[in-house]
Structure formats: structure tokens, C-alpha cells
A and B are shown apart, each in its own frame.
Chain A
Amino acid sequence: MEQRIIEIGESFTKELNIVKNSKDLENIRIKFLGRNGLLSQLFEDFKSLPKEEKPKFGQTLNVLKNDLQNNFDIKLNEVSASEKSEKSFIDFTLPGKTKSKGSKHILIQTLDEIKNIFKGLGFSVATGPELESDYNNFEALNFPADHPARDMQDTFFVNPDFLLRTHTSPVQIRTMQKYAPPIRIIIPGKVYRNEAVSMKSYCLFHQVEGLYVDKDVTFAELKGTLVSFAKQLYGNDIQYRFRASFFPFTEPSAEMDIWWQPSGKEGRWLEILGCGMVDPNVLKNVGIDPEVYSGYAFGMGVERMAMRKYGINDIRNYFDNDKRFLEQF
């Protein structure tokens, strides 16, 4: 028995020393430490020893078992560490395999932001055609023919009766013709102005308009709604003011300014939108009785909003679609 204990100890050490990889190591484990391994056999034999010899060999056997296990563990750590570093060396500094990221156009992202605020306030979203009739774009909205009010919006005409819409307001007319009040919509979309292309202006831009027609709609409610909108978009601590203004399709009309304080520059009032109570003539034109119903409308340009927010100084960036621009948003 004693001899076998010594022999097993020695051959374990010998074999362990020449181990090269985890596979060799596993073989050693099975041979010596496995369920049917040499060590197990020794313990098996130990059971049949005479009672008086048991204490002597029992101790020796336990020492052997601990030794083998300890040495095996040490070797196992060595082997697995070296295998890891050999086999799976990863250069984390190599560039990753990137694919195109993709994004919505920044103007659409800004429109979404505005849309979501108003959807939260109970507004639906309506759209309409870009090639419109003069009636829907002007007449129905209380712009008389040959009135200087038409100069407020330089227009691309296709013929005297059809034009590229100068605002999304014709969708107000279309919606009021289609549905009875209450009507609560916002209208995002492309609109056109006959202006020379420059840093500050382009022949088209994006607009969002809102319309709410119901019983007892008031200017105070318009103001409250727009203040809530502006705070959601620009922050709760904005300073704002409403200024009297003129739009043919609203009466009274106003423009909303917020105090704009660019860092390091002089602050100023900045117009962010136009609004007002729907002119009774407009309601009459779509067959809604202005004595029973009232409404408010508002509108804002998306390009300028995004220019301010992101510090874009040339409006043409939006329509050049340079990938280096697109990737930034």
C-alpha cells in the first residue's frame, strides 16, 4: 500500500510536469482524480485493510489526495491562462465593423417633436396637397384678390387658379369642409414661397399649423395652449409675450415672441409663431356658424426653429443633404 501511494504520487508529478494543454490536463484528471481514477481505487482498497492499519494509511491517503488536487488546480490555472492569451488575442483598438446608421431628416425630427407635443394635447394630424387652388389657399382664408395682404406671401402660380400652397392653411379649409366641430388638428407639411435662394431663405420650407374649432374657444385658451407648447419645446423658464399682428384668416391676430439669449450675445425678442382667433369669414366660408362656434389657429416655420436650436446658419444645408450634415442628427 505504502509503495503504491508513493508511486502514484511520483507518476502524477511526472505527468503533470509535461502537460502542454488543457486536453492533456483533462486526461490526467481522469486518470488520477476521476471517479474511477487511481486515487479512487486506492480509497477502495483502503476499505479492505485490517482495522489496525487504517489510521496509518488513512492519514497518508488524505495528504496525497490534497496534494494531487492542489497541484492539479495550480496547473489548471496556468494552462488556461496561457491558452487564453495564445488563442483569443483581440485587438480592441481595431475599428469596428460599422454600417450606415440612418436617421430622419432633421426637419422631420423637429416636426415630430412639435407634433408629439400637440398630440399630447389632444390634436389629430391632417395633411393635404401641395399644388392647391387659389380658392383654398387665399380666397377661402379671407385674402381678397388684389389685396396687399397677398404680398405677405410671395406665390408661385401655375395659372391664375392654381398655385403652390404658401402655407398649410388650405388644409384648415379642407378639414372644416369634411368634419363638423369639434375639430382639433395640426397640419405639418411643405409650403412654397417665391423667394430667391440664399442663406436665409429657400423656395420651400416646412410649416406646422394648428386649428381648434368648437363652442367657447377663446383667445385665453389659445394663449394657454401655446404657452404650454413653448415651455415643452424651449423649457419651463422661458419669457414670452404676445404681440398684436395681422393675418387675413384670424381676428384678433397675434405673434408670440420668446426672449432669446444666445450665450455671449445680446438677448432679444424672437418671433416663434403667428396665431389668432379664426376669422368669422373663414368659418362662414366652410359653413360653420361663427355665432355658435369659435376657433383658434396658429402656425410656425420649422426651418428657423431648427436653425436656432442647432445653430445652423445657412438654410440651404437642409436641402443639400450632405452626408456629413445628415449624420449629425
Chain B
Amino acid sequence: MADNWDSEPTIRTVLQRVLDNADSRTPRRPRSSGAGAQRTLLTTSSSRRLSSRTKTSAKQRSHGVRSIGRLAHIQVIGNLKEQTPRTLVENILITAPKSSILTPEAMVKPVPALQVVQPSRRESSQGSLELQLPELEPRTTLAAGLPASDRKKQRLRLSVFQQEVDQGLPHLTPRADRGIPLGTLGLTSFNLTFATPLKPQSVRRPGLARRPPRPRAIDVGALLQDLQDNSLALAPPGDSLKTPIANLPSDTVLEDTQPFSQPLVGCSPSVHRSLPNPFPTGTEDAERTTGDRTQSSGPGLQNHSEYWGSPCCSIFTLLGATALACFVSEVMEAEESQETMETEEPEGSSEDENTSDRPGKKPSILPSETREPVSARLTPRPRTAGSRPRQDSYKAGLNHYAKLFSFYAKMPMERKAFEMVEKCLDKYFQHLCNDLEVFAAHAGRKTVRPEDLELLMRRQGLITDQVSLYVLVERHLPLEYRQLLIPCAFSGNSVFPVQ
């Protein structure tokens, strides 16, 4: 509170003094507020920001005084309450008479929010404008004359709201801050709101800055989906304008901080009760502006905003903090755009990586295979190097099986393929010998027996329960070999291949 006062200069201090004086007396307050409003009107045309700051400071002051008064004297509290209902009643008057115009209602909502919030925020200065506006409006409304029924209803709402505010002031203040800017945005010009609101979010709570990363993870996936779903999500232009705004607040709630989101909910009911309609009306202009901006910014942003809107709409309606949405939405849009850019870029890079990896993997595998046979070749060569005839015989043997390959293939084949087959055969013999060694070693033998080869072929899937080794022998080997392999009874009660 003190910081806020100190920070803001001349006009503020003057207004604060006036408010302080006015707080003691209930009647003066309206005067000060009215004067402030008049001033603001004059100033707003020239420079709204200054006026808004001053007003906000004044309001903050009033709040601070109220809080102090509560602590110190109950009487003061009573005065404050009277004053607050006063303002509320005025606001109600403004709202009630205008059935056709939504704006007055909107004015009423922001006021309560401002009262609660302003102490915490300097930037609520925008909110101050709102307070002034309602006061100004009441004059007109009073002249018009309000229906009694409307007043009663509003009074009830106000009373509830005030009670809530009194109870929740300490807790609500931070929450209210956010709520206020939204209302102010709707009411005030967007230009003013844009510059101020962003700073407070980042500066005020350092802890909050850490949180945004969470939403990002969600955002990335969601945004990607959004892009895809945009076609589906895209609605008629009118809907689109509404949706983006709604989306933005939801984003803000998620991204900024969860604690804030809860307070918003708490505040929202009171506001929502008093003014269901006003926010939309106030926000519409903001929406239009935002929508235009979003459109100008790019299709991607709109898509994102729309995407957010669909899920968030329900939440948004519940919260009833449309004004906040407007204010935050622009900021959020900017952030979202940046985030989307960031997210998209990494994804693109990741995709590129994936694509690059795929091709890279294949080549890596192929060369590995090719290299292995080469190494296999090299290993046998040095051994055989001593005697050339062996190497030639080895190649001749491989060539023999390569010819068998060409026979089985039943197709002409390239010479390189022929060489490749020899490589494969070399590799195959290497594996074969290793396997046989392992089998023999496992059986505790140093001799490779036919059982080992049978086991090997069984493991290779060549021998199955339906196809036995002898069947294979009969199929593939000539008769002389078959006689050697398949046991057969001979005369003399003897079986040749002894088993």
C-alpha cells in the first residue's frame, strides 16, 4: 500500500488526501469521487493514463484507509460500509435504468472489483477509470429514474459482495488485481491497458515467472492439435471473435498462476451475480479490437486463440471475469505467439532430426553389414596367405555355392550380386563354424557330430517336426550322399550309417 502511494506522484497524493478527508465523512466521499471523475473525464481525453493512475491511487488510498479504520475503529468501518454501498447504489442506479444499454451494468461490476483490488495494485489505475465512470453514469441514471425492483436486487448483491470483500480483503487483494484490469480494459481504451498490465505480471511476483513453463508443455501439444483442429474449431466470424477472448483468459489463468486462478473464481461469483451482461458488452469492443489485432497478427494466432477458447469457454463463463480475459488476452496472445513460434520451431527441428535419423540409420546398418563381411574376408586371408592354392580353393568353393545360388534363383543376376553372394557365403561359413564350436563345446566334445548339425538346422528352422533331417537329405542330396546319411539296413543285420 505504502509503496503504491509513494510511487505515484502529485495528483495521486492530492487525491489521497481528499479521499482520506472524505472517508471520515460519508457525504464527502462521493464529492471527491465525482470530482475525480470529472477530472478524469477532462484528463482522459488528453491523457487517460495519468488520470487513471491518480484515481487508482486515490482508490487505493481509500481502501487502505478503510482497512486501517477496521483495525482501529468499528465506526470507521461502518462509515466505509455506508460509503461503499453508496457507490454501489449509484452504480446500480446507472445499471438499472438502462435496459437497452449494457455499458452501465458493466460499469457496476468493475467498481467492486476495484475497491477490493486497488490496494494491492498500482496498475489498477485502469480500474480507477471504471470507478469514475460509474459515478458519472449514476447522474444520468438518477435523472432517468430507476425501477425499485432493480435497485433492491442490486442492493442485495452489493451487500453480499461487500461482506465478501470485507472478509476476503486481505486474501482477495492479489486476486482482485487481475480481475480489475479486465474490467478496466473493457471499459477503458485498450491502448492504455496494453502497456501497463504486462509489466505488473512479470514484476510483482517473481515466483510466478517460474510457473509459465508448465503450461508450455501443455501448450505445445495443444497448440499442435489446435493447428490441426483449427479447421474444425473455426466458427462463424462472430463466434471467432468471442472465442479468442475467452481463450485468452483461460490461458492466462493456466499460465500465470494457479493461485490467481482460484481467487478469480472466488471474486467472480460476486461479480457474476451483479453483472452477468455488462462484461460481455464491455468486452465486445475489446474483443473486436483484439480480434482485429489477432487477425492482423496472423492466422496462426487466431487458430491458437480459438483452440484455447473452446475448452476454456466453460471455465470462462463460470469465472465471469471476462474483463480480465480482455486485458490478459492481448498479453497472452503475444506470449502465445512467441510460445507457438518456439514450440513449432523445436518440433520442426525434431521432425527434421527424425527424418535425418531414419535415413542415417539405414545407411549405418547397411555399411555395418558390408563391413563385417569385409572383415571376415580379411581374417581368413592372412591365415591362407601362406598358401595360395587354399585361397583359390576357398574362392572356388564359394564360387561353387554361388553358382548354386544362380541356379536356385532362376533369374539372371548381376556380377556384383554374384560377388555379394560370395560375401554372404563367407559370412555364413563364419557363423556356421562358430555355432558348431559352441554346440560341441556345450556337449563337452571337441568333435562336431551330426547331432550338432541337426540341432543347428533345427534352430535355423530348416528341420521341423514335419520335415525331418532325412527328408531334407532326400530332397537336396544326390543318392550317393543319401546312402551315407540315411541309416539303412543291410544284409547281415547291419545298419550302415551307424547311429
Our verdict on whether A and B bind, yes or no, reads no
